[in-house]
Amino acid sequence: MPSASPSTSSGRPADLVSRLASPDRGARLRALRELKNQIIGNRTKKLAYLKLGAVPAVAAVLADASDDGGGDGDGSCCCRRHDLLVQSAAALGSFACGVDAGVRAVVDAGALPWLRRLLVSPDEKVVDSGARSLKMIYQSKLAPKYDFLDHQNLEFLLSLLNSKNDNVTGLGASIITHSCQTSAEQWALYEAGVFQKLVDLIGGSVSQRDASLESLTAIIRNNHEVTPKILEFENGRALNLIIKFTIDKSPRTRLLACACLIAVSKTSSRYVEGIELESKLIYRLLELLEDPGQVGDEASFALSSLIEEKEDLQKLAFEANAINKLCFHLQNGLSCPKRLQGILLALANICSKLEICRSKLLDLQAFDLVSDALRHDCTDIRVAACICLRSLSRSVKNLSAGYFMNETVIIPLLQLLHDPSISVQLAALGAISNIVIDFTRRKSNFIHCGGVKLLAELSMAMDPVVRSHSLRALKNLTFLADRKCKEVVLSEITASSLASLIRDPESAVQEQALALVRNLVDGCVQSVDYAFTENGIILDAIGRQLQYASKAEIGIQGMYALSNIASGSKVQKDAVMDQLFQHGGMNTQPFIMRFLHSNDNQLRTASIWVLINLTTSYCPGAAGRVLKLRNAGIILQLKSMTNDPCLDVKVVQKIYHLNVH
Amino acid sequence: MAQGSSKKVITKEDWEKRLNDVKIRKEDMNKLVMNFLVTEGFVDAAEKFRKESGTEPDIDLSTITDRMAVKKAVQCGNVEDAIEKVNDLNPEILDTNPQLFFHLQQQRLIELIRNGKVEEALEFAQEELAPRGEENQSFLEELERTVALLAFEDVSNCPVGDLLDMSQRLKTASEVNAAILTSQSHEKDPKLPSLLKMLVWAQNQLDEKAIYPRIKDLSTAKLEDPSAS
C-alpha cells in the first residue's frame, strides 16, 4: 500500500515543515503555498503533515505576520505580509476541513485569536481567508464553544452577521449552529435581534440561505418561548419563507428547510396543525432520499426525527409508501454506512408503534437485510439494526408465531452481547428482551444458543444499565415459562447472585431482579420452591430490600414476588410472615404497613394480595397468621381501606374479606 | 397538402402576425446574453457588451478572468497549475468537492501517461491516486480504469483509451468551471439553453394539436412553411 509520507518535487515533507520557520519571508511564503497546495483535498497528506507538527509551524507564521507592524518600507514587504496572512490562514483552514485531529491541532496551537484578527483587516482577501478558515473550524464539534451570554461576544457575532461579506456572515451563522445549545443562549440571541438578521439572510445568496436555515434551526430547537415569537414575526413571514424553500431547486436547501420545520413542529405543533405541513414534510423527505449524496444520507435521519414517538405521523408516513421506499434503498446495497444507519433507524421509528408497518416490512422480505446488518463492521449500524429489530419484535402477532425465535436472529444477537461497544450491548439487550417473550414455547432455541448463560454473565456487568437490561431480558424470558426454562435460568444466574442483585446499589437493577423473582415463582406451586434455594437466600434478600425500599416500583415488584411465594405451603407462608416482621427491629413499622399507606395505587394493591394469600382461610396455620397480623394493626388498616379511592384496591380489599370470613 | 387530420392549420402569415404582437423587452434579452457570456467565461466579450449595451453583469467580471484561467489550464493539460489557481481563488472548493479533486488528480495522471513519463506516472498513481480510493470507495471503479492505462503498451488503442481524448480534458474543465461558479453563488448553467429547451418542448406539444410554422434550425430560428413537407 502506498506510504503515507508525501514526497514533493522540492524535497521531503519534514524539510517543507522546517522551511516554514525560515528567517527569509520569501522562503516561508513558498513553503506555505507548497504545503497548502499539497494538503487541500488530500486527507492522507493532512494527517501526515499533522504528525510532522506542521500546524504549530503554520500558526507561528500567521502570528508573526499578524504582529508585524512595520517593515523595510518597500511595497513588496507589505504585499508579502498580506500573502503570508492569506496563505497561512488558508493552510490552517484546510487542516481543519473535515479532519478532527486538524481542528484540535489548530485550536491547541492558539491560532484562533490570530484568525479572528484577520476579520477586521482592511484587505478583503485577508478577511475572506480568515472567515473561511474559522468557518471550517466551527463546522467541527471540537471547536471551542462560543459564549453567547457574554456581551462582547454577542456584539462581535452581530457584527459578523451585519457584514457585507458572504464568508463573514456565513461564519456568524456557523458559530450559532455550532454553539447555540441552551434555552438561555437561544433567548439571548433572540433578544439581540439575531433571528431577524438570519431571516434576512435567508433571502440572500445560496450559501447565506443554507447557513441561515441551519442557524435558525439551532435557535428554535426545543424552545417554547422563542419559537412562537419567531414564527409570529411580521405575520408569519419567516415561516412562509422557510416553507417556500422546501421546494427549492437545491436539494441541500430543501433538506435544511425541512429540518427547520421539523424543529418548529416539535416545539410548537400549533403552527403546523391545519396546514398539513407534517404530511408535506414527509413527502419532501422521502423524495430527498433519492439524492445520491450527503443530502440523501441525512434525509432519513430527518425523517426519524419527525416521526419518532408520533403514531399519527408514522401512519401518514406509512400511507406515503415510506416503508416501500426505505426497503427499496435497503435492498439496493448501500455503500455508505451513514445512509444504511439512517434507513435502519427510520424503519425502526416507523415500525415502533404500528402493527401495519411491521407487517409491511416483513411482507416485503426485508427482514433478512435487517438481521444481516447485525454483523456489519460499523458500530452505529449494528446499534441501528438492533433498534430496528426491537421495533419489529413488538409485533405480538409475529412473536406468537415464533417468527423471531430462530438461529438466524438469535445467534448474531447473542454475539452482540460480547460486543466491545456498550451501546451495541444495550441495543441488543433491548431486542432480546422482546424476542424472548415468545409465546410458542420455543425458548429452548434461545437456551441452546447459550442465551441464558450470556444474559446471566451480563447481569454481573460493571455498567448498571447493562445489569438492569439483562435482568429485564431474563425476566421476560421467564414470563409464563416452563419449569425446564426456569431451572436453567436459576442455575445460570445462581440464587446467591440473584440475592445480591436484589440488594444492588442501583434501584433499576433491584427492580428488575425482584421482577425476575416474581416471574420465577409465578405459575405452578412448585415454582415457589425457587425462592427457597440455598437456604432461602432469595426470600431473605427480598425482605431486607423491602425494608429499605424507597421507590414504589421496588415495593411493587417485591410485594408481587412475596404474594406469589405466599400462595405456597404452610411453611412457605410462615416464611413470608417472618419476612414481614423480622426486619427493621422493634420500633420500626413493618414495611407492609408503610406500603398500605402508600400513595401508589399499585403498591397498595400488591400489598393486599400478599395478605390475601397469607390469610386464605382453608390453609393450615391461617388463624395464627391472622392473629399476628391483627396484633400488628394490619387488619385494622385493611378494614379502613374499604373506601380507598382506587378501584383496584377496593376490589382486592373486598376479595380479602371474602377470603377471610 | 395536409392529410385529412383534424389539426388546426396556421399559415405563416398568420403566425408572423401573432408573433409580432408579443412584446419582448430588450433588457431581458440583454440580460440573457450577458448571462451566457459570463457563465461560459467570455470575459472580453462580456466587458465589451457591458460597455455597448449598458447591461450590468450579475457577477464581478474580474472573477471571470480567474475562472477562465483555471479552465484554460485544464484544457491545455496543465493540471497542477490549474489546481494552484483554484486554491488561490478559493481553497474551500477542492477541500469540499472530493469528486472534483479526484478527477483533477486523475487528469494529472492521464497527462503524465500521455507524455510518456511512465515512472513518474506510476509513482503518482501510488502516492496520490490510490489514497483517494482508500478515502472514498466510490472512486475505486474509476481509479481502476485510469490505472489500467499504465498496463497497456499502445495506450491510444486500449479499452480505456478514451481517457486520453480531448473530451476528457474538456469534461474535467467543465466540472471545475461549474464548481467555481457554485462557490461564487452563481448558477452553473446559463439560462439560454433552458429557454431553447422550453421552445422545443412547446413545439412538440403543439405538434399534436396544430400545423404551424415550426423552427427546425435553432441556430437560425427560421420559420418553416407549414405547407411544405
Q: What is the pLDDT of residues A321-374, one digit of tens each?
A: 999 999 999 887 666 888 999 999 999 999 999 999 999 999 998 999 999 999
Task: Indicate the helix (H) or strand (E) that contains B8.
Answer: strand B8-9
Dihedral pair phi/psi, residue A254, rounded to 5°: -60, -45
State the burial class of residue A587 (Cβ atoms within 10 Å of its Cβ: 0-12, 13-18, 19+).
exposed
d(C-alpha A528, C-alpha A607), whole Å:
18
Contacts of B84 in chain A (CB under 8 A): 33, 37
Which amino acid is residue A298, in one-letter code?
E
Residue A292 makes CB contacts below 8 A (sequence gap 6+) with none
What string of pLDDT tens digits covers the 229 residues of chain B? 445 567 888 988 999 999 999 999 999 999 999 999 988 888 889 999 999 999 999 888 888 888 999 999 999 999 999 999 999 999 999 999 999 999 999 999 999 988 989 899 999 999 998 888 887 777 888 888 888 888 887 777 888 888 889 999 999 999 999 999 989 888 888 899 999 999 999 999 999 999 999 999 999 999 988 865 4
Angle subtended at Cα A95 by Cα A93 and Cα A98, rounded to the nearest 5 degrees:
90
Write the DSSP assignment of A585-637 as a string of letters.
-TTSPPHHHHHHT-S-HHHHHHHHHHHHHHS-TTSTTHHHHHHHHHHTTHHHH
Count CA within 13 A, CB hemisphere, residue A57. Answer: 22
Our CA-based measurement puts residue A5 at a distance from the nearest CA of chain B, in whole angstroms, of 9
Give the 3-state secondary structure of residue A288.
Answer: helix
Neighbours of A585 (CB within 10 A): 7
DSSP A29-79: HHHHHHHHHHHTT-HHHHHHHHHTTHHHHHHHHHHHHHH----SSSHHHHH
Q: Is A167 within 8 Å of A133 (Cβ atoms)?
A: no
How many beta carbons lie within 10 A of that of residue B174, not counting itself?
14
Calculate how close chain B gets to A555, using CA atoms only, in Å.
Answer: 56
CB atoms within 10 A of CB B122: 15
Q: To the nearest whole percent, how much of chain B has pLDDT over 70?
A: 97
Cell numbers 476579520: residue: A119
- A38 in contact with chain B, both atoms CB, cutoff 8 A: no
The ipTM estimated for the assembled molecules is 0.80
Run of H or E including A432: helix A422-435
Minimal CA–CA distance to A513: which of A564, A563, A470? A470
How many Å apart are CA B100 and CA B139, to the nearest integer? 11
Chain B residues bordering chain A (beta-carbon distance below 8 Å): 83-84, 87, 90-92, 94-98, 101, 126-128, 130-131, 134-135, 137-138, 182, 185
Closest CA to B107 of B75, B63, B66: B75
- Alpha helices, DSSP H only, in B54-151? 61-75, 79-89, 92-95, 98-114, 118-124, 130-135, 140-148
Residues 6+ apart with CB under 8 A from A109: A55, A56, A58, A59
Q: Is B113 helix (H, G, I), strand (E, B) or coil?
A: helix
What is the tens place of the pLDDT at every residue in A470-503? 999 999 999 988 889 999 999 999 999 999 999 9
- Indicate which of B81, B95, B112 best probes the interface with A, i.e. most A CBs within 10 Å of its own CB: B95
- B141-199, pLDDT tens digit by residue? 888 888 888 888 777 788 888 888 999 999 999 999 999 998 988 888 889 999 999 99
- A12 interface with B at CB cutoff 8 Å: no
Residues from chain A contacting residue B185 (CB–CB below 8 Å) = 166, 205-208
**What are the structural domains, with CATH classification, of chain A?**
1-143 (1.25.10.10), 145-268 (1.25.10.10), 273-392 (1.25.10.10)
Q: Which residue has the cell 498496463?
A: B151
Please identify among residues 482-541 of chain A the ones whose CB lies closer than 8 Å to any CB of chain B. none
Asked if residues A521 and A531 have their Cβ atoms less than 8 Å apart, the reply is yes
Look at chain A and count its residues.
661
Q: What is the per-residue pLDDT across A110-156, written as a single tens digit (0 to 9) for each?
A: 999 999 999 999 999 999 999 999 999 999 999 999 999 999 999 99
The residue written with cell numbers 486523475 in the block is B106
The set of residues, in sequence order, having a beta carbon less than 8 Å from that of A161 and lying 6+ positions away, is A169, A172, A173, A194, A197, A198, A201
- Residue numbers of chain A with a pLDDT score lower than 50: 1-8, 70-74
Q: What is the pLDDT of residue A556?
A: 96
The answer to whether the Cα torsion of A116, A118, A120, A126 is positive or negative is: negative
Report which DSSP code applies to A646: S
Number of H helices, E strands in chain B: 12, 2
Q: Which residues from B are below 8 Å from A42, CB to CB?
A: 101, 128, 131
DSSP three-state, residue B210: strand
